[in-house]
Amino acid sequence: MDSKKLFSSRVDDYVKYRPTYPTEAIDYLYDIMNVGRTSKVADIGAGTGIFSKLLVDRGTNVVAVEPNQEMREASERLMVHAPNFRAVAGSAESTGLPDQSLDFIVCAQAFHWFDRSASKLEFQRILKPRGKLVLVWNSRLTQGTPFLEGIEQLLDKFGIDYAKVNHKNISHDELQSFFKENRMEKTCFTMQQFFDFEGLHGRLMSSSYTPEPGHPNYEPMAKELRELFNQHERNGRVTFNYETELFWGEI
């Protein structure tokens, strides 16, 4: 399936169960990187607008570029009353935005889907001189607790192209090569999500690599997920731990 359509059937779960980003990470953009109310920011691969909203809520003007119609419409519903937000149909490789019009580009949970050569040329075209790119991922920890390790084993067993679409496949050197030489900065934050079983199921179903109903892997995956939840829940909840990684610099 075209990667730009992968999430069309997953929008509701994405909106309900995908994590937001730590307040400390957004503070970093404003306090250290000097994003401000007058900054012009494009959120490219904006999805349902989770990251865009965090900037819009601080008064920054954001244009969300998203090729998937269902996800784009979800972002418009989320920020229907925000005058400093607009969503446009476009992709990282062809945004449709004017030359040198942006102070910042942010790509949250999206960069691993892009054609890197084409998107780099496009980003250089639309950024102002000395404009900056910010790449952000909420990386679900796969080790540290028996539950997290069990989730990873479940996805390895039942997931569709799980290893292939994992953003961890992008090496540090590949990331660094996208930026100007010796200009990439990195910082990390931590966060958690707490789920009942419905939330846990929805969180997994929000991912493109999770088999959907009708797929032969779906029923055995759902059965094993229930067993995993029952084994590890405490007071009806299980915990996802995340490391939020933020890479930024001039390109």
Is the pLDDT reported for residue 85 higher than 70? yes
For residue 1, the model assigns a pLDDT of 47
For residue 3, the model assigns a pLDDT of 54
Contact (Cβ atoms closer than 8 angstroms) between residue 101 and residue 40: yes
Residue 20 pLDDT class (50, 70, 90 cuts): very high
**DSSP H or E segment with residue 102:** strand 102-108
- Residue whose C-alpha is closest to residue 204's, from 147, 250, 145: 147
pLDDT tens track for 96-140: 999 999 999 999 999 999 999 999 999 999 999 999 999 999 999
Q: In terms of C-beta density within 10 A (0-12 exposed, 13-18 middle, 19 or more buried), how is residue 233 classed?
A: middle
Q: Cα angle vertex 191, ends 190, 194, to 5°?
A: 155
Residue 5 pLDDT class (50, 70, 90 cuts): low
Alpha-carbon 109 to chain mean position: 2
Order across the sheet with 40-44: list the strands.
85-88, 61-65, 40-44, 102-108, 127-140, 238-249, 185-195
Task: Count the neighbouring beta carbons within 10 Å of the beta carbon of residue 193.
Answer: 19
- Residue whose C-alpha is closest to residue 243's, from 153, 148, 114, 147: 148
For residue 151, the model assigns a pLDDT of 97
Length of the chain: 251
As a whole number of Å, the end-to-end CA separation of the chain is 31
User: For the chain, what percent of residues have pLDDT higher than 70?
Assistant: 95
Give CA–CA dist 238/219, Å, rounded.
Answer: 21
Give CA–CA dist 79/88, Å, rounded.
Answer: 13
Contact (Cβ atoms closer than 8 angstroms) between residue 142 and residue 149: yes
Alpha-carbon 131 to chain mean position: 21
pTM of the prediction?
Answer: 0.91
Query: Which domains does the chain carry?
Result: 3-141+168-192+242-249 (3.40.50.150)
pLDDT tens track for 157-209: 999 878 776 666 788 899 999 999 988 999 999 999 999 999 999 999 999 89
Structure-model confidence comparison of residues 11 and 35, the more confident one:
35
Contact (Cβ atoms closer than 8 angstroms) between residue 145 and residue 152: no
Is the pLDDT reported for residue 6 higher than 90? no
Mean pLDDT of the chain: 94
Alpha-carbon 223 to chain mean position: 27
Gyration radius of the chain over CA positions: 18
